[in-house]
A and B are shown apart, each in its own frame.
Chain A
Amino acid sequence: EPEVTQTPSHQVTQMGQEVILRCVPISNHLYFYWYRQILGQKVEFLVSFYNNEISEKSEIFDDQFSVERPDGSNFTLKIRSTKLEDSAMYFCASSEVSLGIAGSTDTQYFGPGTRLTVL
């Protein structure tokens, strides 16, 4: 069964450094997402991406964050200058279609996550 993959599984970085988290969505999926989960808290939406553009972003997704689909398979999340509070589990997800019509949306498939630790 196809699955979303993420690398690395664990990233440790120093405060102020840039990190890039990588995701390979399911190959025929068109919609891509990033979520994060601070330890012990709920999973929070960061950003959705479709047709090489951001579709929606949350208030968490400030100027320090950016997303890119650099080629036909990867989807990346970049944090330009990491802060201690960026330490979290970051999940990538993808879906085949999301028409936004009641009953027409599709399942989002989640990757295993990247645990980011900022020291």
Chain B
Amino acid sequence: GIQVEQSPPDLILQEGANSTLRCNFSDSVNNLQWFHQNPWGQLINLFYIPSGTKQNGRLSATTVATERYSLLYISSSQTTDSGVYFCAVEYSSASKIIFGSGTRLSIRP
């Protein structure tokens, strides 16, 4: 089946820093989403981005479908950005989503 790899697994930054999270996938996908899992375990959808670039405030994402990767950019990090960021892809006609292992981001004040 499709493999979804995220890097880095862990990232510790000072408040105000910028970061780039990467998601590689091993096959063509119909759909790609980025999620933030907050400390309470809730999954918050950040972007639905099968291709192209989208921006929402301090966050932006780019997916290059032909090269099978997506990037999530976080600028001017805040402590509330801490949590685990998951990339998830959908590749089959039955709509199953496959999640990566996540990047755990810790923002220090």
Which residues of A line the B interface, CB within 8 A?
A: 31, 33, 35, 37, 41-45, 48, 55-56, 58, 89, 91, 93, 95, 98, 100-105, 107-110, 112-113, 115
Q: B56: CB under 8 A from chain A?
A: no
Q: B53: CB under 8 A from chain A?
A: no
Query: Interface majority SS on A: helix, strand, loop or mixed?
Result: strand
Decide: A98 and B95 in contact? CB cutoff 8 A. yes
Q: B31: CB under 8 A from chain A?
A: yes
The residue on B at minimum CB distance from A97 is: B95
Which residues of B line the A interface, CB within 8 A?
A: 28, 30-31, 33, 35, 41-43, 45, 48, 50, 86, 88, 90, 92-102
CB-CB under 8 A from A56, the residues of chain B are: 92, 94-96
CB-CB under 8 A from A113, the residues of chain B are: 41-43
Select which of B42, B50, B95 is within 8 A of A103 by beta carbon. Answer: B50
CA of A52 to CA of B82, assembled, Å: 39
CB-CB under 8 A from A91, the residues of chain B are: 43
Decide: B96 and A45 in contact? CB cutoff 8 A. yes
Decide: B50 and A43 in contact? CB cutoff 8 A. no
Given contacts A43-B43, A110-B35, contact A102 B98 (CB under 8 A): no
Q: List 23 A-B contacts (CB under 8 A).
A: A33-B95, A42-B100, A43-B43, A48-B95, A55-B95, A56-B94, A56-B95, A58-B96, A91-B43, A98-B95, A101-B30, A101-B93, A105-B31, A105-B95, A107-B33, A107-B48, A110-B35, A110-B43, A110-B45, A112-B43, A113-B41, A113-B43, A115-B41
